[in-house]
Amino acid sequence: MSQMPELTKLVSSLKIRVNPKPLKMSNARGPEGRLIRLRKTVTALVKYERVEINWHKGQEARGYAERLISDAIRHGDTHKDTMEMASYWLEEKQLVHKLFKVLAPRFSDINGPFTRVLRLPRPLHSVQDRVILELRGNLFPAIVPEPHNKNLLTNILVDEARREYKTKKYSEFEEDLSKSEPEPSRL
């Protein structure tokens, strides 16, 4: 009994929360069409490293992409089941090479999720939420701007000018209030 490996070491753990039930995405071709759509999304994510899709499709494809990358890191390209899973989910066979030789070494040291989902603003008269599903560490510029750095000279000067402007406006407002207030009448 002590020679049995731990169960947690047999199955790779995902670093994101995955809904246990598949989302109810309607497709005219049924479950087969749903899997084809998810395969195309995972293929596009590995190929372009950033895709813009509907929210439901992005959430479900994220789980499959995370599992694919996690198994590629864990087992490598010599593991038969991992290679079969990679060749099933990636429709273009040169992307299997990219998964094992480029993405797996890139993510081997990361201790968090390998993908990121960012919601886009909803366009006017649209009912579907759109998201950007991207692999971390891609070559594209960041979508979320970097936080405000208060130590830059231009930011210090702008903050000081803003503070002086506010104090000037407050003093003018107080003067106007004191001029417009009538003196209290004595009874």
- pLDDT tens digits, one per residue of 144-170: 766 667 777 888 888 899 999 999 999
DSSP state of 170: H
Supply the pLDDT for residue 175: 87
Q: How crowded is residue 107: how many other Cβ atoms within 10 Å of its Cβ?
A: 21
Tens digits of residue pLDDT in 39-55: 999 999 999 999 999 98
pLDDT for 44 equals 96
The residue-averaged pLDDT of 101-130 equals 86
Average pLDDT over residues 87-93: 93
Question: Average pLDDT, stretch 107-111?
Answer: 88
pLDDT tens for 53-84 read 998 889 889 989 999 999 999 898 888 999 99
Query: What is the pLDDT, as a whole number, of residue 1?
Result: 47
What does the pLDDT read at residue 15?
A: 63
